[in-house]
Amino acid sequence: MLEFDGLVKTYGDNQVLQGVSFAVAPGQMFGFCGSNGAGKTTTMRIAMGLARADAGEVRWRGAPLDDAGRQRIGYMPEERGLYPKMKVADQLTYFARLHGASSADADRAVAEWTERLGLADKRGERVEKLSLGNQQRVQLAAALVSGPEVLILDEPFSGLDPVGVDSLADALVERCRAGVPVVFSSHQLDLVERLCDAVGILARGRIVASGTVGELRAQEGGRQLRVVVPDADPGWAAAVPGVRVVSEQRGDTVLELDVAADDQAVLAAALRTGRVTHFARREPSLVELFRGAVAA
Ligand X SMILES: Nc1ncnc2c1ncn2[C@@H]1O[C@H](COP(=O)(O)OP(=O)(O)OP(=O)(O)O)[C@@H](O)[C@H]1O
Residues within the interface to ligand X (CB under 6 A):
11, 14, 16, 34, 36-42
State which residue, 257 or 286, has the beta carbon closest to ligand X.
286
Query: 237 with 270: CB under 8 angstroms?
Result: yes
Give the count of beta carbons closer than 10 Å to the beta carbon of residue 284: 19
CB of 47 to ligand X, least distance (A): 12
Q: To the nearest whole angstrom, how small is the minimum distance from the Cβ of residue 184 to ligand X?
A: 12
As a whole number of angstroms, the distance between CA 37 and CA 189 comes to: 17
What's the one-letter identity of residue 192? V
The two beta strands, 150-153 and 73-76, are parallel
- Closer to ligand X by CB, 36 or 249: give it: 36
* d(C-alpha 221, C-alpha 56), whole Å: 32
Say how far residue 163 (Cα) sits from the centre of its chain. 18
In this complex, which beta carbon is closest to ligand X, that of residue 113 or of residue 290? Answer: 290
Residue type, 265: A
Smallest separation, CB 45 to ligand X (Å): 7
Q: Cβ closer to ligand X: 73 or 96?
A: 73
DSSP 290: H
The residue among 101 and 182 lying less far from ligand X, judged by its C-beta, is: 182
Q: How far apart are CA 292 and CA 2, in angstroms?
A: 27
State in angstroms the smallest separation of the CB of 198 from ligand X: 18
Burial class (CB in 10 A: 0-12, 13-18, 19+), 145: buried
Q: How far is the CB of 182 from ligand X (least distance, A)?
A: 17
